[in-house]
Amino acid sequence: MGFLLQGDRKVALVTGGSRGIGKALCLALAREGVSVGINYVTEGSADLILEHISRLGGSVLGLKADIREEKEVKAIVDKMVDSFGKIDFLVNNAGISDQLIPIVDQETNVWEKVVDIHLKGTYLCSREVAKVMIKNEFGRIVNISSIVGLSGFPMRTAYGPSKSGIMNLTKVLAIEWAKCNINVNAVAPGYIRTEMVEDFIRKGTFVEEHIRRRIPLNRLGTPEEIVNVVLFLLSDAGSYITGTTIVVDGGWSAYGYI
């Protein structure tokens, strides 16, 4: 898939870029000639992808930060601007799972952590990066939401509401920044074969056969299938799309049969 982007070399910041969808996206962006800032939180977790992109001759920067912390978000945005001079693209991808236990047994601090990483992190990163984009009169932001935010999933009392909040925040930011030539959209993946989902399957938390039976396409998605949609929204081909959420779930959310 070609980027179809005109003008000078583009610069992207991807949060949670050391694994899963984020890792696949960083690699795809680098292959398209985009300079990539990879945010991560665990020391050493991004070493392999940083080394891989460097070996390919790509322009890449590692950015360790907890996106729940305002000072740390501001610091990585400043580092991006110091290194690349601008930020054209932001993909708010960082996320964790919740406890998958009944709400009456849920720990409040764990609930807060999930909500803060997803919703507060998306808010803070979007706000700080938009300050750069507004000056440059150009920007594309893509927020990674989830089908869990579209309906009620039992025992997802932190993950679901936070992902739903991201979809509403996407609309608000898109309307506010449209006059600044900044497009803001979201992608809501279904069950994607990432490290986190594979771990749940190994532990028996998710039963793959049950999931596949519920998906009309009868399979889990791949990170690359989410990446393709994100690239479309970042590209010139998606220039007239803003304030929307594209669902990529193999038909899960459309399926009405019990």
Q: Which residues are catalytic?
A: 159
Instruction: Give dist(CA 139, CA 107) in Å, integer.
Output: 38
User: Do 180 and 126 form a contact (C-beta atoms < 8 A)?
Assistant: no
